[in-house]
Amino acid sequence: MEEYNKKRDFTVTGEPEGTVGTSNEKPIFVIQKHAARRLHYDFRIEHNGVLLSWAVPKGPSMDPSVKRLAVQTEDHPMDYADFEGVIPEGEYGAGKVIVWDKGIFQNISVKNGQFIDLDAALEKGHLSIVVAGEKLKGGFTLVRTGKDQTQWLLIKMKDDYAIPERDVIITENRPESVVSGKRITEL
């Protein structure tokens, strides 16, 4: 949480202070739409009382043929999953945030035909998870690419929940917050 706390002035921003939380019986995932200097979607999954986080510039796709760049960022506190609001000008990540999707997930990562835990999957650079959100459902893969340890790709797995982008672009069809129903421009 040190990196998270160092970047923020909690007397100015309404974001929660970074502490390590307790783990949920069913781990959560959250995706926040963040209109900062550049619009992106923050994809976060619970692990050991914090939210592992990736910034996905174009957001998730339900189309397995689409690979979305996902840049791993600093871990966020569990409380961040409920944060929706405006980060003031001059603060780190200044801009508007809505909770674009939220739910639970399950790690289904495999190595040599055996299920492995999230730490082993992170180490390997290949995470497979199944999410049950309001918008996103089914399997997703996060794969680390190249030499840069922070660069990953987020890819929908081929399953019954997959939708070709020619039919639905989930970020366009469902722009609203799953908490307030607001669009990011309405904050």
Residue ranges binding Mn ion (CB under 5 A): 34, 42
CB of 162 to Mn ion, least distance (A): 26
Closest to Mn ion by CB, 73 vs 128, is: 73
CB of 69 to Mn ion, least distance (A): 14
Q: Tokens representing 58?
A: 């174009």
In angstroms, rounded to a whole number, what is the distance separating the alpha carbons of residues 44 and 187?
Answer: 22
Q: At 148, phi and psi to the nearest 5?
A: -70, 115
Q: Which residue is nearest to Mn ion (CB)?
A: 34
8 A C-beta contact, residue 112 and residue 85: no
Q: Does an H or E element contain 123, and which?
A: helix 118-124
CB of 145 to Mn ion, least distance (A): 20
Closest to Mn ion by CB, 93 vs 103, is: 93
Closest to Mn ion by CB, 28 vs 70, is: 70
CB of 136 to Mn ion, least distance (A): 18
Closest to Mn ion by CB, 64 vs 96, is: 96
In angstroms, rounded to a whole number, what is the distance separating the alpha carbons of residues 25 and 8?
Answer: 29
In angstroms, rounded to a whole number, what is the distance separating the alpha carbons of residues 130 and 98?
Answer: 22
